[in-house]
Structures are given as structure tokens and as C-alpha cells.
Chains A and B, each alone.
Chain A
Amino acid sequence: MAKQKAPARKTAVSSRSRAPKAKPQEPLKKMVTVYIMGKSHRVPAEATIMGAIEYAGYQIKRGAGCREGFCGACATVYRLPGDYKIYTGLACTTLVQEGMWLSQLPVIPAQKPIYDIEKLRPDVTAFQVLYPEIFRCVACNTCTKACPQSLEVMDYIQAAIRGDIEKVMDLSFDCLSCGLCAIRCPAEIVHYNVGILGRRLYGRYLAPKSPELEKRLKEIREKKFEKEYRELMGMSREELKKRYYARDTE
């Protein structure tokens, strides 16, 4: 599942200026040199990029959210010594490497069209109207390569072009909206917003509806539980305790 994008960590000769001396208070920790927005810092070798930025003394305002790989606030781009490639990752879950030259992206400039979910059709027309630029996709797969979640981003854009909403939903489900796909795309597509639209269309129109849910809602509307609620709410602590510990479990 997790495709290894950047080469495994290795010690490489830095092509940049000489690294400063290690901070004296950390004599035992293995340290590496990283370049945060071009400035060199010695940081613990085991640090995540976010940990390294904070270790270096920055108070992050933009560029940190959940810090656990769910919110997509910490999109980061970096290069490695002796390697022409641009790598992408989340600062909270990517480890530093010797000579890493990195910058966080404080925000991804991206438009989100306004729409009324109730007035859309769950087919290709929704994408044609709201995201016509997806039809410019040249299938270069750069978005997929940029995805820190290892999602098949290009495939869900292609699914959107075909109007295959279920596929858009399925392939984009774990998307964090970090925007690294959008910033790398030569066709200027905002993939993650396309994914959100696909998922919402699926949930609203195509997901099979639960018959049990409708039944339960009807029961609640008809106040079926009123009597039991009153009984429970009127119980003393001791009575409640007794009822609670005596209840059976599925």
C-alpha cells in the first residue's frame, strides 16, 4: 500500500554550505542537517519534518493541524542532495533526511465552485459544470506520484471524466485535501475538491439507503420511546445502576 516515494534514508554528501556544529545539549542524539526554507539547522535524525521545524525554534502558525496525518495542513515539498527530483510529503509524518532542503506550503491557492448539492445530478454533468478543467487531464500521473497517502489520484480524475462516481468516491476516500496533487498538476486541476464532490454525490444519491434507518426515524417521530425515556430519566442513581449492570450485551 505505502509506495516508497523518496529513496530510503542514506547519508549523502551535502552539496550545500557546511553544516553548523551540533547543538551542545544533545551530544548523544544522532543529528542531521536540514535546510528549512534555505537555512541550515541541525536536528535529531529521528525527527519528523514538523518536529524538526519546531526543534529549530519556529512557532508554527500555518502548516500544522492535527499533527497525525488526517487534516492535510502540513503539505511540504523537498529535495535531497544530489537528486534533481521534487519530493512531497506531510510534515507530521515524514522523517527528515540528511541534507533535506524543505519548505512547507502555507496554503494551496485553489478555487472551490459554489453549488447546491440538491440541484446536481450524480453523473458526469456535475463535473462538466463545476470542474471542466479535469477534461484537460493529460494522464501524466504526477498527481498520483505527489500523493502522501499513496492514492491513485489520476485514476479518480479519470473516473470523474467518465462519470463513474462510485469509483471517484472509493479511490479518493482517504484523501486529506493537502493539495500536493493540485500544486504539481500541469493541467491545473484541483483534485481534492473533485474528490469531495464525488464522495458527496455518492453519499447523497447513490449509496443504498438503509431500510432500518427509515423505520427507526419513524418510531422516533411517533414518540415510541417516550415512556421508556421518562422512566429512565425518573430513576434514582441506585435504580439506574441496577438496570445498567443487569443489561445484556450483544
Chain B
Amino acid sequence: MYPEYMHESLKRVEETRPKRLELQRSGKPVFPPMTAEEREDVLNKFHPDYKKESRRTVRVGPNRGELITTEVADMLESHGRIKPDLFDLTKPDYETDILIVGGGGAGCAAAIIAMQNGSKSIISTKLRIGDANSMMSQGGMQAAVSPTDSPTRHYLDAIGGGHFDNKPDLVRALTEDGPEVVKWLEDLGVVWDKNPDHTMYVLHGGGTSRKRMHSCRDYTGAIIMRTLMDEVRNHPDKITVLEFMPTVELILDTKGRCAGGVLYNMETEEYFTVKAKATIIATGGYGRLHIRGFDTTNHYGATGDGLIMAYRAGAKLLYMDSVQYHPTGASFPEQIAGFLITEKIRGAGGQPINKFGELFVFPREPRDVESAAFIRECLERGNGIQTPSGRWGVWLDSPLIEIIQGSGYLYKNFPAMVRQFIRYQIDITKEPMLVYPSLHYQNGGIEINAKCETNVPGLYVAGEASGGVHGRNRLMGNSVLDYNVFGRRAGKYAAEYVKHVNLGKLTLEHVTAYENELKKAGIKTDRIAPVLLPSYTPEEVRKRQLTAHYEGTLR
């Protein structure tokens, strides 16, 4: 239920709705899309990335001297969790072909394809298998299937959305594999939304020039993830799943090839070693680092663990200066602040509206541009609505969708969104949602090529943990596609690689060397990474926890 003081603004939204409906039905853009110059201007002035304190120079490791996101630089300049000399690497606790770090979409896809190519794998995951951002994606997956569309057009949309910084071979892989992924997932049992004539039901997303967003209602990620998990669990003889056992450090061999990892049982607090001929990092992103203090759409374990492990092992990072803020995170009520409001809402005709009931931006600009425009509307122009807890927001007019698409459309196509708000007595078929940008995605990551290889032999990366495919801004629906395309590729190419690799002696020397580098750079810190879990313990409670350090689960 919205507080009394918002009612006048809500009335304005209602009053302007018929006119905006007319505009929508005209088929023309409801607000003029920005030119290249306008995009640049709003980004420079209002996107959180472009603030001076958002980035700093990292002082150690393969990207030393580069400007990267401050919180990431902090994480990279952290101590490890383990003392390397405590481990006897001649007697590994587990041996397998491929160690897959992370049990989300990319990890599961990799395990399935690796298995089909003759490789056994171990999935090491911090929470349960499927506890990942993959599970939470609502809106859909891009793939150029329609006759009016083409993979090359998808390529152009993705690379323009990424400000032309995307690595071309990765974008080609992403867009060219897209239709195959639609088919692969359907064959595994994913239930795609279809039109009555059996063609795929597709919508627009921000920055798309053709409708190519495939969906499973607004539980797209949940349906795909549960299908992949179910398939993984159908092969316990080929894929071993170790839950609540994150990998906390990679192991190399004396020739510098990746040779497995050190795992930490978060419940019994034991450590285990895994010897593997290849390792795939599929740890996802870093939303739970709450960069710039933003709320996040991300799941509990999204703490960027793969980045630091790979970095200590010598892997290069790419575009780690770029953070994605999803334009429409929930701003009210407080209990769901930061939660994802799918972009599909705008794809279906939902419009962002200021407190006077006016349109102020084209609803489907690329995400960074749209977010910056929201921030400008609130902070510079003062046309936002402030919540009782001091958050800002603009309206996202969902009732308009009911009028455009017909009554009952929201219940049928956005059941998760309807549920999310009705718990707080807000009926989104009748009232708009209050939204503000929320920390959503790690645009950059560990640099890969189209085979998911890194500069460390035997180390592969897939999904959000990787960098390059989305340039400096990802479009909606390209991450679900990303973890499928590159998860599959990582599984395939790693399985090929392990067929002819003979590992030498295992070592954690690089962990010691990294620690020395920190010392040499004069970095004094009590930070420890991987972070594993964020802490939401109140300060007062922490003060009484005299014998525990809540740096993740480390004691």
C-alpha cells in the first residue's frame, strides 16, 4: 500500500495514462530515443561508474596499474583464506577431469556438455546447486529466431549496447549459437512461451531492434535452471555435486597450468583438495559487494569469488571498470528494495513516469543509459518520488500494460511480479510500481576467447564471471544466453583439452607469490577474499561478537 503522500502523484499518473496509451498505440516511439551524444552526456553526468571515486588503480596482479571499480580493487587487494604450506598436494582428496567452480546456469550447462564429450566433472558450489542469479532471471533470453531478425542483427544490437567495446569473436559466438540454445533447452524440456501458431512468443528488450526475447512467463531463469539441475542430477556417476563447498583457491601445476582447486566445507570448516586436468570458473558476478552502496538484484552468494581466485592464479581481467545497474529495481516497499522488476515489463509496454505523470525517457534505452536517465530525473531534476526510508524512485506504469495487452495479461505473463507486490497490498494491475536503479550485473570479468580459454592454460571461464562478450554494458536477455552459450562451449573445449594433458607437480606457489606482491606494494589490510557470503549483521550485534570475524564464514 502506498503512503498517503504519494497519492497525488499516483493520480497524475492515472490522468496522463489515456494520452500515453494513445502515444503507445501510434506505433511511434513514446519518447524520442537518445542520440549518441545525448547518451554519452547522461552517462558521463549520472551513471554511478563515471563518478571519480567509483574507480581506483589496482596495485597488484595481472591488471596492475589499471583503473577498476573501487570495491573490486579492494577485493583483489585482499589476503587469501588459506596457508599454502598446510596442504599436501601429492595426495589430493578428489581427482577428476574437470573441476567446475559454481553450480549455476553456466556450471550446469558445462557439466552436461563435458559429460557428453566424455569427461567427468566435480561441481563445487558455495550454496545449493542452482542458487545463482541464473535462477532469478525473469524477462527472458535473446536469440534471433524470427524471420525478420538475424544473428548478425543481434550482433549489431549487442555491440552497440556495449558501446562497441565487446570482443567481436565472443559476440559472434553469442549471437550465432543463440537459436541452437533455444532448441537445446527445449529438447531438455524447457517450456518456452509460444504463439497460437506455434512460433516463438518474443518481445523487445532495451536496445533491441527486433523482438527476440524468449521467455517462460516471468520465471524464465527458474524454468531453465531447474531443467539443467535436474539433468545434472540424472548423471551422478559422471557429475559429482559438492554443495556448501566453495572453491577458495585454484591449484596450478609446475608448468603454470590450472590443475584444480582447494575447497572449503562451510559447515564442517574442513578443506579439501581437488586435482583436475581442467577447471571451469562459473561463479557468476558480484552484486553482493553492494558497489557504491547500491541495493542489488543479486542472489546471496554473488560475491565475485571466481575473480580473485583466477586473478591470484594469473588470469587477466577485462572491463572491470564497468558495473551494470538495472534501471528498474524495486524502490518501495522497503522489504523488497533492490529486487528485480523485469525489463520485460517495459518490453510489454510499461512506461517510466516521473512524479508529475510525465514520460521523461524512451522506455527501452540500453540499461546504463536508462538507469542514468532515472537518476537524472530524481537527483538533478527533482522529479522523482522519495520513499519514507529516503530512497528515490520513478513510477513504472504497469496498469498501462493491462490496457494495451488486454485484461489478465499481467497475471498470465508476470505472475512473479504480481505476487511480489500483492504481499504488500500493491496490485500492479491497478497501480504502478516505484523503481530505481539497482546493482545488477558485472559487465566485465576474466578475459576469455570464444573457446572460453583464459591466458592460464587449463583455466576456462563461462557466464557472468567472464569478461568481453558484453563490452561495457549488457543488454537484457543476453546473460541467460551468455551462460548457456559459453557454459556449453566451456564444457566442450575443456573436455577436448583434458584428453591430452598430463599434469606435473601441483603447487600453490602462486598464492604465496601474490601475498608477497601485496607486501611489496605496501598494502596493509585485514580484508580476506573470496568473500563467500555478505554479512547483514547489525553493528550493535557485531560489537558483541567478540570471538568471531564475520568476513564471510571465516573464523
A213→B168 contact, CB < 8 A: no
Closest-CB distance, A32 to chain B (whole angstroms) = 14
Contact A61 B423 (CB under 8 A): no
| With contact pairs A220-B176, A244-B159 given, residues A67 and B299 touching in the complex (Cβ less than 8 Å) | yes
In the assembled complex, how far is the CB of residue B312 from the closest CB belonging to chain A, in whole angstroms?
24
Contact B183 A244 (CB under 8 A): no
Does A247 touch B at the CB level, under 8 Å? yes
Q: How far is the CA of A240 from the CA of B191 in the complex (A)?
A: 36
B36 touches A204 (CB 8 A): no
Q: Are B553 and A228 in contact (CB under 8 A)?
A: no
- B361 shortest CB reach to chain A, Å: 16
* Chain B residues with a Cβ closer than 8 Å to the other chain, count: 92
Contact B191 A202 (CB under 8 A): yes
A98-B540 Cα distance, complex, nearest whole Å = 22
List residues of A (54-71) whose CB comes within 8 Å of B's CBs. Answer: 54-57, 59-62, 64-71
Q: From residue 415 to 457 of chain B, which have CB atoms closer than 8 A to chain A?
A: 415-416, 418-420, 422-423
Does A46 interact with chain B (Cβ within 8 Å)?
A: yes
Return the CB mask of B295-328 against A: 1 if under 8 Å, else 0.
0010111000000000000000000000000000
Q: Which of A62, A67, A177 has the most CB of B within 10 A?
A: A67
The CA of A94 and the CA of B14, in the complex, are separated in Å by 30
Query: In the bound complex, do residue B187 and residue A204 qualify as a contact, i.e. CB atoms below 8 Å apart?
Result: yes
- Do A207 and B223 contact each other (CB < 8 Å), given the known contacts A149-B419, A225-B176, A228-B152? no
In the bound assembly, the distance between CA atoms of A240 and B36 in angstroms comes to 13
Is A51 positioned at the interface, with any CB of B under 8 Å from its CB?
yes
Our pick among A68, A204, A210 for the contact of B189 (Cβ within 8 Å) is A204
Q: Report whether B198 and A208 are in contact in the complex, using a CB–CB cutoff of 8 Å.
A: yes
A233 within 8 A of B: yes
Q: Roughly how many angstroms separate A46 CA and B211 CA in the complex, as a whole number?
A: 41
- Looking at the assembled complex, report how far the CB atom of A249 sits from the nearest CB atom of chain B, in whole angstroms: 5
A177 contacts B189, C-beta separation under 8 Å: no
| Distance to closest chain A CB from B356 (angstroms) | 28
The 8 Å CB contact of B150, one of A117, A149, A196, A225, is A225
Complex: A240 Cα to B159 Cα, angstroms: 9
> Which residues B370-401 have CB closer than 8 A to chain A?
none
B525 in contact (CB, < 8 A): no
A151–B477 Cα gap in the complex (Å)?
A: 27
> Which residues does chain A contribute within 8 Å of B147, judged by CB atoms?
212, 215
Chain B: which residue is nearest A243 at the CB level?
Answer: B156
Instruction: Kindly state the separation between the CA atoms of A60 and B244 in the bound complex, as whole angstroms.
Output: 12
User: In the complex, what's the smallest C-beta–C-beta distance from B182 to chain A, in angstroms?
Assistant: 6
- A65-B135 contact, Cβ under 8 Å, with A169-B191, A250-B209: yes
A40 contacts partner chain B, Cβ-Cβ < 8 Å = no
Q: Nearest B residue to A244 by beta-carbon distance?
A: B160
* Residues in B whose Cβ lies below 8 Å from that of A1: 411, 415, 418-419, 422
Bound CA–CA A72/B189 (angstroms): 21
Cβ contacts A62-89/B at 8 Å (1 or 0 each):
1011111111010000000000000000
- Report the Cα distance A62→B244, complex, angstroms: 8
Contacts of B194 in A (CB 8 A): 207-208, 210
Check if A174 sits within 8 Å of B179, measured CB to CB. Answer: no
Inter-subunit contact B128/A69 (CB<8 Å): no
Contact A210 B135 (CB under 8 A): no
A-chain residues with CB within 8 Å of residue B497 when the two chains form the complex: none
| Total contacts A-B at CB 8 Å | 223
Nearest-neighbour CB distance to chain B for A26, whole angstroms, equals 9
Q: Which of A185-222 contact B (CB under 8 A)?
A: 196, 199-204, 207-213, 215-217, 220
Residue of B nearest to A94 (CB): B423
Q: Which single residue of chain B is at the shortest CB-CB distance from A233?
A: B168
Residues of chain B within 8 A (CB-CB) of A196 are 226-227, 230
- For B348, list chain A residues within 8 Å (CB): none
User: In chain B between 216 and 267, which residues have their CB closer than 8 angstroms to a CB of chain A?
Assistant: 216-217, 219, 221-223, 226-227, 230-231, 233-236, 244, 266-267
Inter-subunit contact B156/A66 (CB<8 Å):
no
CA distance A54 to B541 in the complex (A): 10
Bound state CA distance, A36 and B425, in angstroms?
A: 26
A164 to nearest B CB, angstroms? Answer: 15
In the complex, the answer to whether B183 meets A213 with C-beta atoms within 8 Å is: yes
Bound-complex Cα distance A241 to B189 (A): 39
**Interchain CA distance A229-B415 in the complex, whole Å:** 39
Q: Which residues of B have CB within 8 Å of A64?
A: 127, 300
Which residues of chain A are within 8 angstroms of B179 by Cβ–Cβ distance?
Answer: 213, 216-217, 220
User: Given A117-B189, A210-B200 in contact, is the A248-B234 Cβ separation under 8 Å?
Assistant: no
For the complex, is B199 an interface residue (Cβ under 8 Å from A)?
yes
**A95 at the A/B interface (Cβ < 8 Å)?**
yes
A133–B420 Cα distance when bound, in Å, is: 33
CB nearest neighbor in B for A56: B541
Report the stretch among A11-19, A108-116, A152-160 that lies at the interface.
A108-116
A232 vs B158: C-alpha distance when bound (angstroms): 12
- The residue in chain B whose Cβ has the minimal distance to the Cβ of A216 is B179
B82 at the interface (CB under 8 A from A): no
Nearest first, the 4 closest Cβ-Cβ pairs linking A and B are A200-B189, A244-B160, A208-B198, A57-B541
- Which residues of B line the A interface, CB within 8 A? 35-36, 127-128, 130-131, 133, 135-136, 144-148, 150-153, 155-157, 159-160, 164, 168-169, 172, 176, 179-180, 182-183, 186-192, 194, 198-200, 204, 209-211, 216-217, 219, 221-223, 226-227, 230-231, 233-236, 244, 266-267, 297, 299-301, 334-336, 339-340, 411, 415-416, 418-420, 422-423, 533, 535-538, 540-541, 544-545, 550, 553
A-B contact pairs, 18 of them (CB 8 A): A51-B536, A64-B300, A66-B136, A71-B130, A73-B128, A114-B233, A117-B234, A150-B419, A203-B190, A204-B186, A210-B145, A215-B147, A229-B152, A229-B172, A229-B176, A232-B168, A240-B156, A240-B159
